[in-house]
């Protein structure tokens, strides 16, 4: 099964139609603009043999007195949510990909173009002292919001940074992206559902606080007309923003609004920030493991390398967990492992035994149950060489992972389900075995199993003995489990 990786494309702005013919660049809220009230587009035509030049005035923010709610496809958070993460940014998305810049009275300044609307998120507050706005539902033609605290407003010369286009596909080349954009002109093109425009509020939210979000005009002409439809805006600079830094008591017409409340600051990022570093004991994440009797017929203990101090038993290895202190020292360290030790020869023989049997088999024999080679299916290799290079050999020569305990109990875990099924299938054959004979029978079998296995590895005629012995353990283990022996 193939895995599809999600790819997205973002654009700082997008515009369609005659708005791309506007010649005056966006001053980004700094300074005055040449155009008043709305942007103009020059049009030159030939009437018979006479050239005619006209300046066409385009619809701009000063012509808008409302917003169709059906244009909104999503708000984050949803309306009346009470546990929004305070370290996230609120936003609103619109179906039309060019909606945010459709009525902007300017041409892009490089990659920067201000949306004609802005998203304000204001604190509702528990009292007049903490409230950041006053809402007036009786105003005409639109309800209004008066911002009491100017510090709650974003910087007017940075509104270009808080709108963008989001496409739910990736494109390898600019030509591919251009073809996608051209397809949006076709009626009922399915690509139209893959692209939206998003408006963000950059405000840093507080935990456990009620907020109200407002979509308002970002240009002065839109603000004036939204407050009073017959307002004279002919002398207002077309690019003048709705507010200035530090302005107090600005009243905005409301195009769209919703409310929400933040929850505790307890998402993953905030919890990570609460972590405090502290010195850790070198013993954190490692514990002694007696590997002197690995089991599964191995006669050599896991003396695999030098472990200081020399007088310490060299088969007491350090079993490491997934997390350990930075000062923890492996026992033994990787550089001290000696793959010529007898332990590795026996380990190689046991782990490679199933593959050896399978290669020599005609296909009718049952597979041999043996400790697994970790990662063999990923690497498509079913043998290891402890002295060899590569991650597979490195992983499987580590007794910590091999589970150097009785019967290699840690290695048995990945195949426990399969083995349990085989034990159940053998249960009937153990009915005649007395319960008090189980421990001794199992001990006798395990004592002989290593010899039988090693003989079978080198002598094909001995494989039948090994298979019979393996089945005997299956019977004994089944009865032992039913009798409650540990």
Report the percentage of the chain scoring pLDDT > 90: 50
Strand partners, 57: 40
For residues 84 and 260, the answer to whether their CB atoms sit within 8 Å is yes
**Where is pLDDT greater, at 268 or 367?**
268
Q: What is the pLDDT of residue 403?
A: 36
pLDDT of residue 24: 94
What confidence category does residue 144 fall into, taking pLDDT thresholds of 50, 70 and 90?
very high
**Alpha carbon of residue 159 to chain centroid:** 29
Measured distance CA(352)–CA(204) in Å, rounded: 60
Can you give the pLDDT at residue 409?
38
Question: Which position has the higher pLDDT, 358 or 439?
Answer: 358
Phi, psi of 332 (to 5 degrees): -80, 170
For residues 182-204, average pLDDT:
87
- The residue that leads in pLDDT, 129 or 38, is 38
pLDDT value of residue 416: 42
- Of 386, 362, 364, nearest to 373 (Cα)? 386
For 385-402, the pLDDT digits (tens) are 999 999 999 888 877 654
Answer whether residue 249 shows pLDDT above 50.
yes
Judged against a pLDDT cut of 70, whether residue 64 lies above it is answered with yes
Q: Is 148 exposed, middle or buried (0-12, 13-18, 19+ CB in 10 A)?
A: middle
pLDDT mean across residues, the chain: 83
Confidence at residue 259, expressed as pLDDT on a 0 to 100 scale = 97
pLDDT of residue 364: 67
Q: Place 442 in a pLDDT band, splitting at 50, 70 and 90.
A: very low
Q: Which pLDDT does position 256 carry in this prediction?
A: 98
Q: Is the pLDDT of residue 363 over 80?
A: no
Q: Averaged over 42-49, what is the pLDDT?
A: 89
Assign 445 a pLDDT band (cuts: 50, 70, 90).
very low
pLDDT at 137 over 70: yes
User: What percentage of the chain carries pLDDT values higher than 70?
Assistant: 80
pLDDT tens readout for residues 288-346: 999 998 888 888 889 999 988 888 899 999 998 888 899 999 999 988 999 999 999 99
Give mean pLDDT, residues 441-452.
48
pLDDT tens readout for residues 217-242:
999 999 999 998 788 999 999 999 99
Q: Which residue has the higher pLDDT, 147 or 334?
A: 147
Q: Which of 4-18, 59-73, 106-120, 242-256 has the lowest mean pLDDT?
A: 4-18
What is the pLDDT at residue 99? 96
**pLDDT reported for residue 186:** 79
Please give the pLDDT value at position 21: 92
Report the pLDDT value the prediction gives residue 411, as an integer from 0 to 100.
46
CA 451, CA 297: separation in Å to the nearest integer? 7
| Residues 197, 94 contacting (CB under 8 angstroms) | yes
Domain boundary assignment for the chain: 9-268, 286-425
Of 147-151, 169-173, 275-279, 361-365, highest mean pLDDT: 147-151
Mean of pLDDT values over 64-73: 94
For residue 437, name the pLDDT band (cuts at 50, 70, 90). low
Give the pLDDT of residue 458. 46
Question: How much is the pLDDT for 360?
Answer: 83
Q: CA-to-CA distance for 273 and 296, rounded, in angstroms?
A: 47
The dihedrals phi and psi of 336, each to the nearest 5 degrees, come to -100, 0
């Amino acid at each position: 099964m193939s895995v599809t990786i999600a790819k997205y494309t973002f654009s700082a702005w997008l515009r369609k139609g005659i708005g791309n013919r506007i010649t005056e660049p966006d001053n980004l809220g700094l300074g005055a603009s040449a155009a008043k009230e709305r942007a103009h587009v020059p049009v030159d035509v030939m009437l018979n043999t006479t050239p005619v030049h006209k300046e066409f005035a385009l619809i701009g923010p000063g012509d808008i007195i409302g917003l169709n709610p059906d244009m909104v496809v999503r708000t984050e958070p949803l309306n009346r949510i009470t546990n929004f993460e305070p370290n996230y940014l609120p936003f609103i998305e619109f179906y039309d990909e060019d909606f945010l810049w459709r009525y902007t009275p300017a041409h892009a300044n490089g990659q920067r173009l201000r949306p004609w609307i802005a998203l304000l998120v204001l604190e509702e507050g528990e009292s007049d002292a903490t409230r950041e706005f006053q809402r007036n539902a009786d105003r005409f033609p639109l309800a209004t919001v008066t911002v009491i605290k100017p510090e709650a407003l974003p910087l007017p010369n940075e509104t270009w940074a808080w709108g963008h286009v989001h496409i739910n596909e990736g494109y390898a080349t600019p030509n591919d992206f251009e073809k996608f954009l051209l397809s949006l002109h076709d009626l009922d093109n399915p690509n139209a559902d893959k692209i939206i425009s998003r408006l963000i509020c950059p405000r840093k939210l507080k935990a456990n606080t009620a907020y109200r979000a407002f979509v308002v005009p970002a240009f002065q002409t839109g603000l004036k007309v939204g407050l009073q439809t017959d307002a004279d805006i002919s002398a207002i600079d077309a690019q003048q923003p709705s507010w200035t830094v530090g302005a107090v008591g600005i009243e905005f017409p409301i195009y769209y609004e919703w409310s929400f409340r933040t929850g505790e600051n307890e998402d993953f990022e905030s919890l990570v920030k609460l972590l405090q570093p502290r010195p850790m004991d070198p013993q954190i994440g490692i514990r002694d493991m007696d590997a002197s009797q690995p089991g599964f017929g191995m006669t050599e203990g896991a003396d695999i390398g030098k472990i200081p101090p020399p007088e310490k038993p060299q088969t007491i290895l350090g079993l490491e967990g997934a997390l350990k202190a930075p000062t923890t020292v492996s026992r033994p360290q990787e550089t001290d492992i000696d793959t010529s030790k007898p332990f590795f020869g026996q380990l190689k023989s046991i782990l490679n035994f199933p593959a050896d049997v399978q290669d020599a088999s005609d296909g009718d024999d049952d597979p041999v149950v043996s400790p697994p080679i970790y990662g063999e299916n990923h690497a498509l290799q079913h043998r290891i060489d402890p002295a060899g290079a590569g991650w597979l050999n490195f992983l499987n020569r580590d007794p910590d992972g091999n589970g150097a305990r009785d019967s290699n109990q840690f290695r048995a875990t990945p195949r426990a389900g399969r083995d349990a099924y085989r034990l159940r299938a053998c249960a009937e054959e153990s009915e005649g075995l007395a319960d008090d004979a189980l421990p001794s029978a199992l001990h006798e079998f395990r004592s002989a199993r290593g010899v039988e296995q090693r003989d079978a590895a080198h002598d094909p005629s001995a494989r039948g003995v090994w298979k019979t012995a393996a089945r005997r353990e299956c019977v004994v283990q089944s009865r032992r489990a039913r009798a409650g022996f540990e």
